[in-house]
Structure 1
Amino acid sequence: MLTELNITTMLNFTTAPPVGGCPPVGIQLEGLILPPVLTIDVTLGLLGNAVALWIFCFKVKKWNPNTLFLFNLVIADFLALVSLPLRIHALLVGHWVFGDAMCRINLFLMFSNRSASIALMTVVAIYRYFKVVHPHHRVNLMTRRQAAFVSLIVWFLVIGPRVPMLAFNHIKRRGHRSQCFFFTSYKEASRSILILLKMHRILTVLEFFLPAAILLFCSVRIHSFLRGRQIGNPEKVRKAMRVCVAIVLVFTLCFLPTTLSTIGLWFITSFRPWDCASFYSFTQITIVSLGMNFLNSALDPVVYVFSSSTFRRALCESLPRSLRCCRGEEEAQSSSSTGTQSTVQQELKTIRT
């Protein structure tokens, strides 16, 4: 929490531009909020993604492009989750003790996870769109090798813009203590760091609004297409819409707060560089909102269940019979197969006659 002296000092910054820029940012609000939030993210995320990884590796017998995209999403989540305990430790003790190299890797994994999760969720939504709205499009004939190539392209596009983060020192020293922050103050920012920060803000905004437009387009088109059809199974319509709704909800809940706070911080640094109080406030909000980014790692297993019938069946078959959640689905499949068999038998009888 900010003390009265800190608040008074910050308010004084708004009336007179400080010499040399705003002093360095320290741990204040995020030191209270982020540790429990990140702990919940790590606990739920590791548990859910460990189960998902086990199912993908040992229970899913037939892989398709959608399964491969979801598997890459699991890998992206694990890369972020293994880096969070270091961040939690630094927030609890009040300083960073793991050195410069681990600071760079930690920040790289944190921000790469956001980009990878957004990109892969968008790919899953686009693939679902073609499956439903354009069932005869050649995208639906994609092989596993082609899907793996698409995944490699996604990883290249995600990692490429974040690699420059590894080239700079992000340790902020304050007395005998050091912090590992990507967000920096004017006073301690070099020209290279300022350019890197601008690149980061541009990526943060584009990574949200461009995929958001694609997700909304796919959801609206799928909904209108299925509602306009007079034939088809209503249950399949509901399942397709649940996939779209699940992806859109996870996407908005996890990534919208960081995007809005980044835009606010960008506005302050561009048009009100003397307003250190607003700069500190938006910096704190931006860092705290990162906790919502990693909530997607805990919620992504929900996306797996909704978007992949293969994953859902493998999950249900792994549970004890009394706890299986898809008995209705199994019964529907068995009745469907029984109905198909009876139809075939009737056709055979007709042919014999």
Structure 2
Amino acid sequence: MLPETNFTTTSNRTTTIPNSGDGGCPPVGIQLEGVILPPVLTVDVILGLLGNTVALWIFCFKLKTWNPNHLFLFNLVIADFMALFSLPLRIDSLLRGHWVFGDGLCRINLFLMFTNRSASIALMTVVAIYRYFKVVHPHHRFNRMTKRQAAFVSVLVWLLVISPRVPMLAYNHIKGSGNNTQCFFFTSYKEASRAIIILVAMHRMLTVLEFIFPLAMLLFCSIRISSFLRARQMGKADKLRKAMRVCAAIVAVFMVCFLPTTVTTIGVWVIRSYRPWDCATFYTFTQLTIVSFGLNFLNSALDPIVYVFSSSMFRKALLGALSCAMRCGQNTGENTPSSSGTQSTTQEELKSMRASGDT
């Protein structure tokens, strides 16, 4: 699924459908998608399931008390599972070379993947803003937020994220037929209805706005926290590092996962709109978009790092669980030789008893 690139891939060959407004450029070959994306997305799913399952277990069974920050992070776990549940279908489609799950699952699959990106960005931004007020404005009423109010904020975030994506569920995104069936959101303008064209335009705006504004807010929060603590906590480098870890982790995940997709997608749009004759650049950005698509969902695997840095209670619960697991493993290993040692000791005692009895 590439932005505005309509293609079909079979197991034995690659079939391309000319891009809309291609300006005379031949169709773009997409063999790279079937080679790179399956292993990349598989790694995303494995690491994401491992990290987020542990995070969900800690949130549900190990945290004794919850605060607004924990509630925001828990919603981020939910957003990650939206992608983790949808990506296996996409991997299967790439490996088979066609989509076999029908129109309904195609709509849900695309909806979950796009919503995951928007929700992850929005919730990470909320976590950073919450930390900003805690550090820079400790007496602000925002810091007296109750769990009920935090739940309201979470619901509001989900409504803002989901609302623009709901129309995606109303239209058929299946292209082709038989073994060439594919599940795409973007389609050629030559065959698209006016409603689909409006959805594509809305997606363009959301892709840009949901990245630029949150990135600006994240950088603002990071810079303000750093300058505030340097001015008031001179000589206390540990406190500065601890406070900055949250924003630094969020910014790092944000840049690694979402910046490449945004840049390459905008590049494809700009070239197709203003330089339709520049085929070489268009091909380059298209292939880069394929590669960056795998990074886009790496956030599901990296978000557990945000949980660790954002909550000391989560960190302590995780360390406690790990130390308990290590102790259990050590005890199991120690029990085996000790039991054998006990058996050998018992045998020696029996031998000595027999020897004494013989005497």
TM-score by length of 2: 0.80
- Higher CA-based Rg: 2
The within-5 A match list for 1:1-353 is 17=24, 27-173=30-176, 176-230=179-233, 233-273=236-276, 279=282, 281-320=284-323
Change (3 A) 1:284 1:103: farther
- Separation (CA, whole Å) in 1 of partners of 2:81 and 2:182: 24
Deviation at 1:262, TM superposition (A): 1.5
Cα–Cα, structure 1 residues 267 and 174, in superposed 2: closer, same or farther, change >3 Å?
A: farther
Distance 1:279 1:174 in 2: 28
Q: Is the 8 A contact 1:28 1:284 kept in 2?
A: no
Change (3 A) 1:43 1:322: closer
Q: Percent of aligned pairs with the same residue?
A: 74
SS in 2 for 1:320: helix
Shift of 1:234: 3.3
Shift of 1:235: 1.9
CA deviation string 1:7-47 (max 9, x = no partner): xx99xx97x648xxx86x77522111100000000000000
RMSD: 2.6
Structure 2 Cα separation of the partners of residues 283 and 194 of structure 1: 20
- Within 2, Cα distance between the matches of 1:230 and 1:26? 56
8 A Cα contact 1:27 1:94, kept in partner: no
CA contact (8 A) 1:17 1:275 kept: no
Return the offset for 1:278.
Answer: 5.3
3-state SS of paired residue (2:139): coil
Q: What is the SS of the residue equivalent to 2:154?
A: helix
Instruction: Give the 3 Å change call, closer, same or farther, for CA 288–165 of structure 1 in structure 2.
Output: farther
SS at match of 1:159: helix
Distance 2:297 2:83 in 1: 8
Which stretch of structure 1 is more off in the superposition, 293-302 or 314-323? 314-323
What is the deviation of 1:264?
1.0
Q: Distance in 2 between matches of 1:180 and 1:254?
A: 23
| 5+ long unaligned stretches in structure 2 | 1-8, 328-359
Task: Tell me which amino acid in the other structure corresponds to 1:135.
Answer: P
Partner of 2:345: none
Contact 2:233 2:240 survives alignment (8 Å): no
Seen in structure 2, the aligned counterparts of structure 1 residues 307 and 230 have a Cα distance that, compared at 3 Å, is closer
Q: Does the C-alpha gap of structure 1 residues 273 and 170 become closer, same or farther in structure 2, counting only changes over 3 Å? A: farther
Contact 2:32–2:290 under 8 Å retained in 1: no
Which residue in the other structure is 1:336 paired with? none
Unaligned runs of 5+ in 1: 325-353
Corresponding position of 1:343: none
Deviations 1:162-221 (A, max 9, x none): 111111111121674111122323333332222211111110111111000000000000
Question: 1:321 Cα shift?
Answer: 5.1
Shift of 1:280: 5.4
Distance in 1, matches of 2:29 and 2:167, equals 24
TM-score (norm 1): 0.82
Change (3 A) 1:314 1:44: same
One-letter code aligned to 2:98: H
Rounded Cα–Cα distance in structure 2 between residues aligned with 1:26 and 1:177: 16
